[in-house]
């Protein structure tokens, strides 16, 4: 069983010909304008800030960027360099062909994204990703940056945290504002006056000043519009708002919660302009404060370059990567267990808490790479399990940490557990399923599994035939899936992929596997046996979940199981006061990188239908979609399952102290 342990969890309708489908060639779908051959002499640097996406005639812009001290970098330096990258129509055609094939033949939500209705808490409009990509192919481009940015926008609009288009060439710098913001509920209300400065990194005394306007617009309206129109990650604009705003994040290196600026104040892509204008009202100042805050620019690369040509060669393209050689004889190999990192015993033990407690009334009992166990001294029958990620350095070691933490709770007479999932954007499905079963042990083998299916194409069928029962290189091995038509046994042949069924979703016909599910291994008795004696085991009244909607992927899966199947109550905090907020985001799929899929084809000695992209990249997509139990809508779009039982708002007090927040939730949960 190799699959589960390695899985990691973001116009007109055109009919798809799924089997044997290939992306259109440049001649029949693309009108990308060829690169101009005329030579342009350098022009003086513009005195006004350029608009990203507009071509710049300064041919040495990347040289200026390279020669500028990192502490003196400006927005203009980066934008000028990005706009100086020459457009190559052949590279653009290759890129678009590959991305279009990926979203036609492998991405599972291409058809579901066309849905015309979005029940609350969702607010996403129908999005035809294939149509958008084909439209890009028909457009004329002279700017390489504009071309790639249009693809990025098309993918981001899916609102799927598993779908990402990241080109190193145009994400080599981070843009940071000195002001990070939050939107607390004050005196039971959340209006424009509720937007405040969470932290002023420049230490000018603006902390907790009221932000009245941003770029001349009411601050709360500005942030809500930005979350609605620009920011991806979730179908819920209020969950996106929480991603944007400042929060506290657990730092494993220091063992404490630290302030995180949020995606609005710290961006990996070029912002809309060189600065933001703020109007602040501060309690210690009589007059309104007018601030024009330029974006600080932080380089994320150490690669050397001297001009646009060397920037393309060294940053965008980079040195060639060594391809994974095919297995002996061209046949995929299989191993029943993943290769584990051999560690010394001391490295697997729970690490001791940091010197000096961060919270006076919350003792740290056990810490790991993904979980921290706190005991509330003022509420001694309550423990807080902070699960800040499902992606530890060692999944098996983290299972031991979880058992040690729960055992420590039991030793301290804890009977109630609050699980804090804030900011947990996912990770290992295996660890997620393990945690679910440690609190609610399986009654049936499929209790920890989701009904699932996959999009089928001719190239996927070819890969699946070679993958069957022979290798752990790829995820398309039918022997790693349960055959639901005959009970709970794995597939003993390749029928899962060889016999697809036709489905019409939102007016588009596609081929799919029949419903199946991942083959989760049973939990070792060394974990289940002690868990059976804990006073909270299988008792929903003794367990609560705290989330801010930034609980993604594997975290969302755990939340779904506890709330939908085991009736555990969840408290969702933040977003917009008085509106719904999702408990979790992008919970309905498993993620795969394009480079991994290409590696599967290479390992199988098969020719991929997609060409490797010219530029270094991280392109991810959802390859396996999941359903709630007894549901027909994919979990990714099943808004009803995202609603929490309880809503809370951040306040100036609890937004900066998890200890304060935990006490509030515990007091409300167990009166």
Q: Of 45-49, 321-325, 332-336, give the lowest mean pLDDT range.
A: 332-336
pLDDT value, residue 7? 57
Q: Token pair of 417, please?
A: 């557990």
pLDDT value, residue 320? 59
* Helix, strand, coil share of the chain (percent; to 5): 35, 20, 45
What band does 13 get if pLDDT is binned at 50, 70 and 90?
very low
Q: In the block, which residue shows the tokens 């690669």?
A: 303
- Answer whether 101's CB lies under 8 Å from 20's CB: no
What band does 118 get if pLDDT is binned at 50, 70 and 90?
confident
Helix/strand/coil for 62: helix
Helix/strand/coil for 544: strand
- Answer whether 476's CB lies under 8 Å from 7's CB: no
The class that CATH gives domain 345-448+524-589+627-669 is: alpha beta
CB count within 10 Å of CB 391 equals 19
Q: Token pair of 186, please?
A: 């004050």
- H helix or E strand, kind and range, residue 242: helix 237-244
- Answer whether 183's CB lies under 8 Å from 195's CB: yes
- Answer whether 79's CB lies under 8 Å from 45's CB: no
Q: Token pair of 402, please?
A: 């979880």
pLDDT value, residue 546? 98
Q: Of 33-42, 168-177, 352-361, 446-455, give the lowest mean pLDDT range.
A: 33-42
Pairwise CA distance, residues 80 & 436, whole Å: 50
Q: Token pair of 509, please?
A: 């016909």
Provide Rg for the chain, Cα atoms.
26
Mean pLDDT of 612-625: 96
Pairwise CA distance, residues 518 & 521, whole Å: 9
According to DSSP, the residues that pair with 197 across neighbouring strands are 181
- Answer whether 470's CB lies under 8 Å from 451's CB: no
- Answer whether 634's CB lies under 8 Å from 625's CB: yes
Helices 144-156 and 129-138 sit at what angle, rounded to 10 degrees? 170
How far, CA to CA in Å, does 534 sit from each of 135, 423, 525, 527? 58, 27, 15, 12
How many residues does the structure list for the chain? Answer: 671
- Answer whether 248's CB lies under 8 Å from 231's CB: no
**pTM attached to this predicted model:** 0.86
pLDDT value, residue 209? 96
- H helix or E strand, kind and range, residue 628: none
Helices 89-105 and 129-138 sit at what angle, rounded to 10 degrees? 160
Helix/strand/coil for 662: helix
- Answer whether 10's CB lies under 8 Å from 161's CB: yes
Q: How far apart are the first and last CA of the chain?
A: 45
pLDDT tens-digit readout, 412-469: 999 999 999 999 999 999 999 999 999 999 877 677 789 999 999 999 999 999 988 7
DSSP state of 486: G
What band does 356 get if pLDDT is binned at 50, 70 and 90?
low
Pairwise CA distance, residues 541 & 562, whole Å: 11
Determine the Cα angle at 602 with ends 596 and 603, to 5°.
85
Backbone angles phi, psi at 260, to 5 degrees: -120, 130
Would you list the domain boundaries of the chain? 174-234+263-298, 345-448+524-589+627-669
C-alpha dihedral, 63 to 67 to 68 to 73, nearest 10°: 40
Own/partner pairs, 299-304, CB within 8 angstroms, 24+ separation: 299/70, 299/73, 299/172, 299/173, 300/171, 300/172, 300/173, 300/174, 300/268, 301/168, 301/172, 304/66
Pairwise CA distance, residues 136 & 130, whole Å: 10
Q: Token pair of 151, please?
A: 């693809």
pLDDT at residue 326 tops 50: no
Pairwise CA distance, residues 250 & 33, whole Å: 48
Pairwise CA distance, residues 16 & 184, whole Å: 46
Strand duo 569-573 + 646-648: pairing:
parallel
What band does 6 get if pLDDT is binned at 50, 70 and 90?
low
Q: Which of 438, 364, 361 is nearest to 398 (CA)?
A: 438
Kindly report whether the peptide bond that precedes residue 121 is cis, defined as omega within 30 degrees of 0.
yes
Q: Which of 637, 635, 621 is nearest to 151 (CA)?
A: 621
> What is the overall mean pLDDT for the chain?
86
pLDDT value, residue 40? 31
pLDDT at residue 176 tops 60: yes
Helices 594-603 and 89-105 sit at what angle, rounded to 10 degrees? 80
pLDDT value, residue 25? 32
Sequence-separated (6 or more) residues with CB below 8 Å from residue 571: 544, 545, 546, 547, 644, 645, 646, 647, 648, 665, 668, 669
Q: Of 12-26, 346-360, 536-550, 609-623, give the lowest mean pLDDT range.
A: 12-26
DSSP string, 461-498: HHHHHHHTTT-SS-S--GGGEEEGGGSSPBPSSSHHHH
DSSP string, 144-211: HHHHHHHHHHHHHTT--TT-EEEEGGG-SEEEE-SEEEE---BTTB-SGGG-EEEEETT-SS-TT-EE
pLDDT value, residue 34? 37
Q: Token pair of 110, please?
A: 């291409």
pLDDT at residue 15 tops 50: no
pLDDT value, residue 460? 96
Pairwise CA distance, residues 158 & 151, whole Å: 12
pLDDT value, residue 318? 84
Domain 174-234+263-298 falls in which CATH fold?
Pdz3 Domain (2.30.42)
pLDDT at residue 346 tops 70: no
Pairwise CA distance, residues 395 & 390, whole Å: 8
pLDDT value, residue 2? 40
DSSP state of 282: -
DSSP string, 370-381: SEEEEEESSSTT
pLDDT value, residue 124? 83
Mean pLDDT of 96-114: 97
CB count within 10 Å of CB 53 equals 15
pLDDT at residue 23 tops 60: no
How far, CA to CA in Å, does 559 sit from each of 99, 404, 465, 490, 520? 32, 22, 35, 26, 18
pLDDT at residue 351 tops 50: no
pLDDT at residue 179 tops 90: yes
Task: Judge residue 400's burial from the number of C-beta atoms within 10 Å of its C-beta, 0-12 exposed, 13-18 middle, 19 or more buried.
Answer: middle
């Amino acid at each position: 069983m190799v699959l589960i342990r390695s899985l990691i969890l973001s116009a007109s309708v055109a009919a798809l010909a799924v089997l044997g489908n290939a992306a259109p060639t440049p001649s029949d779908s693309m009108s990308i304008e060829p690169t101009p051959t005329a030579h342009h002499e350098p022009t003086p640097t513009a005195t006004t800030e350029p608009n990203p996406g507009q071509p710049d005639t300064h041919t040495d812009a990347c040289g200026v960027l390279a020669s500028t001290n990192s502490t003196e970098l400006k927005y203009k330096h980066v934008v000028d360099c990005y706009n100086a990258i020459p457009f190559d129509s052949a590279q653009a055609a290759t890129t678009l062909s590959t991305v279009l094939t990926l979203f036609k033949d492998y991405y599972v939500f291409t058809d579901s994204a066309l849905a015309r209705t979005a029940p609350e808490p969702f607010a996403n409009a129908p999005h035809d990703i294939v149509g958008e990509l084909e439209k890009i192919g028909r457009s004329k481009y002279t700017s390489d940056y504009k071309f790639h940015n249009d693809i990025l926008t098309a993918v981001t609009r899916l609102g799927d945290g598993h779908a990402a288009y990241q080109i190193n060439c145009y994400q080599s710098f981070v843009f940071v504002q000195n002001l990070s913001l939050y939107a607390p509920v004050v005196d039971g209300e959340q209006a424009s006056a509720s937007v405040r400065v969470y932290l002023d990194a420049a230490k000018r005394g603006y902390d907790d000043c009221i932000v009245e306007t941003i770029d001349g617009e009411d601050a709360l309206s500005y942030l809500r519009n930005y979350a609605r129109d620009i920011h991806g990650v979730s179908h819920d604009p209020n969950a996106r708002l929480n991603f944007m705003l400042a929060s506290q994040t657990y730092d494993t290196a220091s063992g404490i919660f630290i302030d995180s600026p949020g995606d609005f104040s710290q961006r990996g892509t070029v912002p809309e302009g060189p600065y933001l204008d703020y109007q602040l009202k501060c309690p210690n100042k009589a007059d309104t404060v007018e601030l024009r805050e330029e974006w600080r620019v932080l380089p994320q690369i150490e690669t050397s370059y001297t001009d646009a040509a060397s920037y393309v060669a060294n940053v965008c393209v980079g040195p060639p990567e060594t391809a994974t050689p095919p297995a002996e004889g061209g046949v995929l190999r299989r191993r029943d267990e993943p290769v584990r990192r051999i560690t010394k015993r001391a490295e697997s033990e729970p690490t001791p808490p940091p010197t000096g407690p961060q919270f006076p009334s919350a003792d740290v009992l056990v810490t790991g790479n993904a979980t921290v166990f706190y005991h509330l001294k003022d509420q001694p029958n309550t423990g807080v399990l902070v699960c800040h990620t499902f992606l530890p350095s060692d999944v098996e070691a983290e299972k031991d940490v979880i058992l040690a933490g729960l055992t420590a709770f039991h030793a301290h007479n804890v009977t109630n557990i609050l699980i804090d999932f804030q900011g947990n954007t996912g990770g290992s499905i295996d660890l997620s399923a393990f945690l679910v079963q440690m609190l609610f042990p399986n009654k049936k083998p499929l209790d920890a599994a989701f009904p699932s299916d996959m999009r089928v194409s001719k190239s996927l069928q070819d890969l699946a035939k070679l993958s069957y029962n022979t290798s752990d290189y790829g995820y398309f091995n039918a022997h790693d899936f349960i055959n639901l038509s005959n009970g709970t046994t794995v597939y003993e042949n390749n029928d899962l992929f060889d016999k697809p069924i036709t489905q019409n979703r939102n007016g588009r016909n596609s081929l799919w596997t029949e419903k199946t599910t991942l083959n989760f291994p049973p939990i070792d008795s060394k974990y289940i046996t002690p868990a059976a004696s804990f006073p909270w085991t299988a008792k929903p009244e003794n367990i609560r979940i705290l989330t801010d909607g930034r609980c993604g992927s594997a975290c969302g899966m755990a939340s779904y199981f506890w709330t939908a199947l085991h009736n555990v109550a969840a408290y969702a905090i933040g977003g917009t006061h008085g509106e719904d907020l999702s408990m979790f985001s992008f919970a309905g799929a498993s993620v795969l990188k394009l480079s991994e899929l290409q590696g599967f084809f290479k390992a199988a000695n098969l020719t991929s239908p997609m060409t490797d992209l010219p530029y270094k990249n991280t392109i991810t997509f959802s390859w396996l979609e999941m359903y709630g139990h007894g549901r027909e809508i994919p979990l990714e779009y099943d808004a009803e399952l995202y609603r929490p039982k309880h809503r809370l708002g951040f306040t100036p007090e609890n937004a900066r102290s998890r200890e304060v927040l935990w006490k509030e939730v515990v007091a409300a949960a167990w009166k």
